[in-house]
Structure 1
């Protein structure tokens, strides 16, 4: 149950459409609605709507080609850059961004966003607002000193990282290095909003099983402190489903502020 027996997402790639169907679809038998859709969307809505996170420029570094966690951010951040590890995920996101034939249907999440905001009569506006906020989708590589090389991005007011650090890290040392590289893109005084899967060792996409670095709530909190992030808020939701597609025990939402 380690990276020697499971594939590495950022090295081997994955079937991005299958990943969306398994964890984020609107199918009645989709087991992960509470954990993968509702909890992250509610947490980001709370964080942004209460005015606790502000600015103009946001960077999102997340797993796969997901966009549903960004609806609330797009209401407050007019410039968003998405960083992804795989060309297939970037292609998938570009289909949705430019409303092309075959794009993934995220309408169930725009409905959820409208419900959170209390604007159910403005469903199409949610996706339009998010699309207009996204400036670029770039490939990133954490093996590089500048993870977006050759592009040099300005420092962000906010970074969102959803379910990615534990996926691309083989062990504790790599996790810390990857966390440090993430916050290098963050302004002093800026915030990192992170979603982490706790106590997970594997997850499935398509027919492939992928590695995940097993970490708990205490480890993530300590990691924030070691890199100089002051924790502003956190919440944990215990797993709400039964499925052998992934073995996580809980989901952590945590906000850390970078020192001035």
Structure 2
């Protein structure tokens, strides 16, 4: 009987990109490290560097997690588009692009190519050159969100009681940290502004115990309409009972789910349109500074890089009272997520870049929590590698003055 062709699903479920790299490309005993890799690099060196094959764009189809076959190409093409079926491969390649300490070490092969090109000492140049020319994933436009984002499908995919991608690990991370911040940590006041609410309520369940007024906001009418259904107890509204029960149990009131829902409904006073990319995100509406601004799973969607992320944080300062709180929760090292067949890009963020952005924006970081993703099921739907919670404060006027004098 003939051997069956390996299915795509088997690759998606079972292929281990890091193990492949270690088995086939490791410096000392990789199966492809000697003869095959030398064959590839010599022929591509002769084709690109000597043979005159060059131009504006090179498309590498089926890149895998490897870079060795692109090293000579990076010298003669202005930009390189890489591609692969498997998220495991794309994530491993991305690690190398971002100089992640956990990335596979290609130094031995980069050195060989440099020597082949007569530039044995230019290993860093060649690496940086390749990193520069690999095109970034385009940021999903606002228009794509407006045209294609399905709020109900998002809730079912990510927050469904049985198998939602975010139902267990992510949601537990959020409600635990916000419970500790609001109920135990003393962050409270008159008004909380939730920026980029989406159609979700779970991150507001502890807040409603310690704030008199909650303002929710989102760019998309889809999300606002879905949230409104829940407020109005529409029979078609998404059922959040499983998460409300978790928060009530955390607060020692496991049987008070209906009271909790009623309390949150009574505290939500407005649902505004917001745009993170505007200098004044609520323009033309004037929003008075609030005691606390909360932002959950939002900023990595509109921001194209950490510079724009930092600009959004700076713009938030006008919305927060002096001494007020900024709470941001999101995923680490993500590049994209899906709602149905629609792909939406995400800014890949890490601990160092995040804390640098908060400090450059002028905040004092009170607490920062980072945790790896433990359950990798659903990685093909949303590829975040970890979770973060940052609690920061806008300095009071007196503190800003002291800081300006270095005191």
Q: TM-score, normalised by structure 1?
A: 0.94
Q: Which residue of 2 aligns with 1:12?
A: 144
The question of 1:253 aligning with 2:386 is answered no
Instruction: Go from structure 1 to structure 2 and tell me whether the alpha carbon gap of 1:3 and 1:81 turns closer, same or farther (over 3 Å shift).
Output: farther
Q: Which residue of 1 aligns with 2:160?
A: 25
Encode CA deviations 1:106-144: one digit per residue, 9 max, x unaligned: 111110111011001211011100000000111112343
**Retained in 1: the 8 A contact 2:300–2:346?**
yes
Q: Which residue of 1 aligns with 2:178?
A: 44
**1:235 aligns with one of 369, 391, 395:** 369
Distance 1:145 1:80 in 2: 22
Instruction: Go from structure 1 to structure 2 and tell me whether the alpha carbon gap of 1:136 and 1:3 turns closer, same or farther (over 3 Å shift).
Output: farther
Does 83-92 or 240-249 show the bigger shift?
A: 240-249
Q: How much is the aligned-residue C-alpha RMSD, in angstroms? A: 1.5
Greater strand content? 1
Q: Which runs of 5+ in 1 are unaligned?
A: none
**Retained in 2: the 8 A contact 1:58–1:158?**
yes
The question of 1:149 aligning with 2:283 is answered yes
Q: Which residue of 1 aligns with 2:100?
A: none
**Retained in 2: the 8 A contact 1:24–1:36?**
no
How far off is 1:3 after superposition?
4.2
**Retained in 2: the 8 A contact 1:80–1:135?**
yes
Alignment of 1:212-227 (within 5 A): 212-227=346-361
**Retained in 1: the 8 A contact 2:289–2:320?**
yes
Does 130-139 or 228-237 show the bigger shift?
A: 228-237
Structure number with larger C-alpha Rg: 2
SS in 2 for 1:233: strand
Q: Which residue of 2 aligns with 1:120?
A: 254
SS in 1 for 2:215: strand
Distance 1:89 1:120 in 2: 28
Encode CA deviations 1:197-234: one digit per residue, 9 max, x unaligned: 11111111121111111110111111111111111112
Distance 1:173 1:51 in 2: 31
Q: Which residue of 1 aligns with 2:295?
A: 161
Q: Which residue of 2 aligns with 1:183?
A: 317
Q: Which residue of 2 aligns with 1:80?
A: 214
Q: Which residue of 2 aligns with 1:174?
A: 308
How far off is 1:38 after superposition?
1.1
How far off is 1:18 after superposition?
1.0
Distance 1:32 1:141 in 2: 24
SS in 2 for 1:131: helix
**Retained in 1: the 8 A contact 2:276–2:299?**
no
**Retained in 1: the 8 A contact 2:335–2:348?**
yes
Distance 1:138 1:255 in 2: 23
Distance 1:223 1:207 in 2: 33
**Retained in 1: the 8 A contact 2:310–2:357?**
yes
Q: Which is bigger in relative contact order (C-alpha 8 A, separation at least 6)?
A: 1
Q: Which runs of 5+ in 2 are unaligned?
A: 1-89, 91-135, 397-407
How far off is 1:24 after superposition?
1.1
Distance 1:7 1:182 in 2: 22
SS in 1 for 2:309: helix
How far off is 1:32 after superposition?
2.8
**Retained in 2: the 8 A contact 1:35–1:251?**
no
How far off is 1:63 after superposition?
5.3
**Retained in 2: the 8 A contact 1:56–1:77?**
yes
**Retained in 1: the 8 A contact 2:198–2:217?**
no
SS in 2 for 1:148: coil
SS in 2 for 1:177: helix
